Amino acid sequence: MSTIIAGAVWVLPLSFTLLALSAALVLVRLIRGPRAADRVVAIDALTMLAIAAIALFALATGQPMLLDAAVVLALMSFLGTAAFILLFRRRGRGPDEVVTWNDRKPAADETVAAPPDRERMR
């Protein structure tokens, strides 16, 4: 097993540093994000950064088994995003009351009754 890259002394630490900086920026968005969708986006971006970091770590330590963890994390990222998307659906308590998960304030002139196609999607 040979893993050869040019300038490994500085390329790998620099890449790790850039990834850590990116994770810090995305974390700010995850904490601050005003809507639920912003937080889901931030979680998605964080898992992608984690996949990249695991791949770099596998290269730095020369252990190919870590890449299996990267594959599984890629799959779990998709499943996790899909699970969060299910929480976006409108949940109606009654015929005249529709509650959204991310408590949007409906506009004054906006009708809050869900159209029938949304009812069928449930």
Partner 1 sequence: MSNGLLPWLSSVLLLLGALIGLIGAIGVLRLPDSYTRMHAASKAGALGTALILAGVAAASEGAFALAALFAMAILLATAPLAAHAMARAAHRAGITPATGPLGDALADEDGNGHTERNPAASAPPTAGKR
Helix, strand, or coil (residue 114): coil
Q: Considering CB under 8 A, how many residues would be counted as binding partner 1?
A: 67
Interacting positions 10-39 with partner 1 (CB under 8 A) = 11-12, 14-15, 18-19, 21-23, 25-26, 28-29, 34-38
Judged by CB under 8 A, does residue 113 bind partner 1? Answer: no
Residue 97 backbone phi and psi in degrees, to 5 = -130, 120
The Cα-based distances of 32 to 15, 65, 87, 105, 106 in angstroms read 26, 35, 20, 19, 22
Max CA pair span of the chain: 67
Shortest distance in whole angstroms from residue 48 CB to partner 1 = 5
Report the residue from 93, 105, 119, 120 that binds partner 1 according to the rule CB under 8 A: 105
Q: Please pick, from the candidates 61, 68, 97, 99, the single residue that binds partner 1 as defined by CB under 8 A.
A: 68
Residue (1 or 95) nearer to partner 1, CB:
1
User: What's the min distance (Å) between Cβ of 81 and partner 1?
Assistant: 4
| DSSP symbol at 115 | P
Q: How far apart are CA 36 and CA 42, in angstroms?
A: 10
Question: Does position 55 bind partner 1 by CB under 8 A?
Answer: yes
